[in-house]
């Protein structure tokens, strides 16, 4: 067989030990906080039945779902006329009955419905697994990436929104990523806006345009609204929301005026006010809570609270987390009236932010603490005895596998940034001792075989 030049599919990544040390650091912190907040892990299969995923993410989503080709003779039972006309839309479900998970929310909804009799509600679950999308790869966008989600289903309580604000704060505090802004909005506020301007049936167009305020400015938003048939008069009424000023509670005060005639709008204000008041007496550790009425994320299924987390102001990157409440998530699988609320952490972006701000602690490292140089059979055997003791003490230790030249073994230690090298040569063997070399300072100390202590390697 001719040798193949190795490569990986576009949009995918290999992760090296150095990269994984960082990713595991973040994932462990997230997992730890999820657990402390009472969330329990679940895992779902990488592929779901074709019908479980299709039709849940809109037309664009359907296109971006990776389908798995049926095993065996996939062409056998295909409709002959679809085959002849190469009608790929009709052929796809006939030659593919499985598809790779596109997010963690739909599989979670499927899980809840399928296992409803084994679940104690309210059910707080977290899930940290990869998802796949056939998106065009670009900087920071991949075809395989991890999602880290925490959701609660089975309760409408606003205490859960409060817990999610605290959870965001706790995770980013644990990561030493201080000064993130947790932005909140509420679908009911957006419905209220559409109502007071008399354009309730244009809610989606209205919010999609409003969501772009950051990017295209007030002028741009207004033009888009006009182009969607929202009247200039209506827009005039809503202009104050383009420059809401002050902190969360000051914005609430302004909104009370704007939305005074909308019942649903006032309900949204009430919910946000409850959250803000509670958080003010349960102060956040390092994050800020803000109200952003332009937030609309995934409006298609959010029905109440909407969350988005922005990195600290000195980092120019999009959101590093988001979420919201969806009142009827499991309905697509036949279980009605189960409200859910959840948030997600953007692992890749959090990693980028932490690199940019140099926030990874220097202790995280993929290397061993101690390398034993290999001088031959008897010396290596004695080294392995020492290594066993070091590992029992919790140290990461290894033997260089061959009795190669000293320089080669030291080069290996240097390239791998191994902090301590242990030398047991012929004379040490005789003296029943080992030499420890600190690779940073160059200092060397000799110890007896019976003087193995963790403090020697600190």
Distances (CA, A) of 333 to 98, 115, 155, 212: 17, 12, 18, 33
CB of 68 to a second copy, least distance (A): 5
Is 301 within any annotated ligand binding site? yes
**Beta strand 144-153 with 123-132: parallel, antiparallel or unpaired?**
antiparallel
CB of 51 to a second copy, least distance (A): 6
Tell me whether residue 162 or residue 320 sits nearer to a second copy (CB atom).
Answer: 162
CB of 201 to a second copy, least distance (A): 22
Tell me whether residue 293 or residue 395 sits nearer to a second copy (CB atom).
Answer: 395
Tell me whether residue 242 or residue 274 sits nearer to a second copy (CB atom).
Answer: 274
CB of 298 to a second copy, least distance (A): 18
Question: Residue 23: enclosing H or E segment and its boundaries?
Answer: helix 17-36
Tell me whether residue 262 or residue 409 sits nearer to a second copy (CB atom).
Answer: 409
8 A C-beta contact, residue 247 and residue 142 = no
What are residue 309's phi and psi, to 5 degrees?
-110, 130
The span from the CA of 282 to the CA of 303, in Å, is 26
8 A C-beta contact, residue 189 and residue 145 = no
Is 214 within any annotated ligand binding site? no
Tell me whether residue 49 or residue 250 sits nearer to a second copy (CB atom).
Answer: 49
Tell me whether residue 68 or residue 226 sits nearer to a second copy (CB atom).
Answer: 68
Buried residues in 190-209 as b, exposed as e (16+ CB within 10 A): bbbbbbbbebeebbebbbbb
* 337 Rama class: left (phi>0) / alpha (psi -120 to 50) / beta: left
The span from the CA of 125 to the CA of 122, in Å, is 10
Is 102 within any annotated ligand binding site? no
8 A C-beta contact, residue 178 and residue 172 = yes
CB of 64 to a second copy, least distance (A): 8
Nearest Cα residue to 181 out of 286, 26, 299, 323: 286
Is 133 within any annotated ligand binding site? yes
CB of 439 to a second copy, least distance (A): 14
Distances (CA, A) of 447 to 4, 181, 393, 424, 438: 51, 53, 17, 11, 14
8 A C-beta contact, residue 250 and residue 273 = no
Is 138 within any annotated ligand binding site? no
CB of 397 to a second copy, least distance (A): 7
CB of 78 to a second copy, least distance (A): 8
Tell me whether residue 271 or residue 398 sits nearer to a second copy (CB atom).
Answer: 398
Is 63 within any annotated ligand binding site? no
Token pair belonging to 371: 């390398």
The span from the CA of 178 to the CA of 429, in Å, is 52
Is 444 within any annotated ligand binding site? no
Tell me whether residue 24 or residue 242 sits nearer to a second copy (CB atom).
Answer: 24
The span from the CA of 203 to the CA of 225, in Å, is 11
Residue ranges for the known binding site for L-histidine are 103-105, 133, 147, 151, 297, 301-302
Residue ranges for the known binding site are 103-105, 133, 147, 151, 297, 301-302
């Amino acid at each position: 067989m001719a040798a193949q030049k190795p490569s990986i599919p576009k949009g995918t990544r290999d992760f090296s030990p150095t990269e994984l040390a960082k990713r595991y650091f973040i994932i462990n912190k997230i997992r730890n906080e999820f657990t402390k907040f009472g969330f329990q892990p679940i895992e779902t299969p990488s592929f779901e039945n074709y019908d479980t995923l299709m039709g849940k993410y809109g037309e664009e989503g359907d296109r971006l779902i990776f389908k798995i080709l049926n095993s065996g003779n996939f062409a056998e039972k295909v409709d002959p006329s679809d085959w002849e006309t190469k009608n790929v839309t009709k052929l796809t479900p006939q030659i593919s009955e499985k598809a790779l998970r596109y997010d963690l929310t739909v599989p979670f909804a499927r899980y809840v419905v399928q296992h409803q009799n084994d679940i104690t509600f309210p059910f707080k679950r977290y899930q940290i697994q990869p998802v796949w999308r056939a998106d065009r790869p670009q900087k920071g966008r991949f075809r395989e990436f991890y999602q880290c989600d925490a959701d609660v289903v089975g309760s409408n309580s606003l205490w859960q929104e409060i817990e999610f604000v605290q959870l965001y704060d706790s995770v980013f505090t644990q990561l030493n990523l201080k000064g993130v802004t947790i932005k909140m909005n509420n679908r009911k506020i957006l419905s209220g806006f559409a109502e007071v301007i008399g354009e309730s049936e244009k809610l989606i167009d209205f919010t999609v345009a409003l969501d772009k305020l950051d990017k295209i400015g007030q002028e741009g938003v207004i033009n888009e609204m006009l182009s969607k048939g929202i009247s200039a008069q209506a827009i005039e009424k809503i202009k104050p929301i383009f420059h809401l000023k002050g902190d969360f509670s000051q914005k609430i005060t302004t909104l009370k005026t704007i939305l005074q005639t909308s019942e649903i709008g006032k309900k949204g204000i009430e919910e946000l006010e409850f959250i803000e008041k509670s958080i003010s007496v349960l102060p956040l550790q390092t994050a800020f809570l803000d109200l952003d009425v332009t937030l609309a994320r995934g409006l298609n299924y959010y029905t109440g609270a909407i969350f988005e987390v922005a990195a600290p102001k000195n980092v120019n990157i999009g959101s590093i987390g988001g979420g919201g409440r969806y009142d009827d998530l499991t309905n697509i699988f036949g279980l009605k009236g189960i409200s859910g609320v959840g948030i997600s952490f953007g692992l890749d972006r959090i990693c980028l932010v932490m690199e940019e701000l140099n926030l990874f602690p220097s202790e995280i490292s993929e290397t061993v603490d101690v390398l034993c140089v290999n001088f031959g059979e008897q010396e290596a055997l004695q080294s392995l005895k020492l290594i066993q003791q070091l590992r029992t003490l919790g140290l990461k230790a290894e033997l260089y596998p061959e009795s190669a030249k000293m320089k080669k073994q030291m080069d290996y230690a240097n390239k791998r940034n191994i902090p301590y090298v242990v030398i047991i040569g012929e004379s040490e063997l005789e003296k029943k001792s080992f030499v420890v070399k600190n690779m940073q300072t160059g200092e060397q100390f000799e110890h007896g075989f019976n003087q193995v202590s963790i403090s020697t390697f600190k």
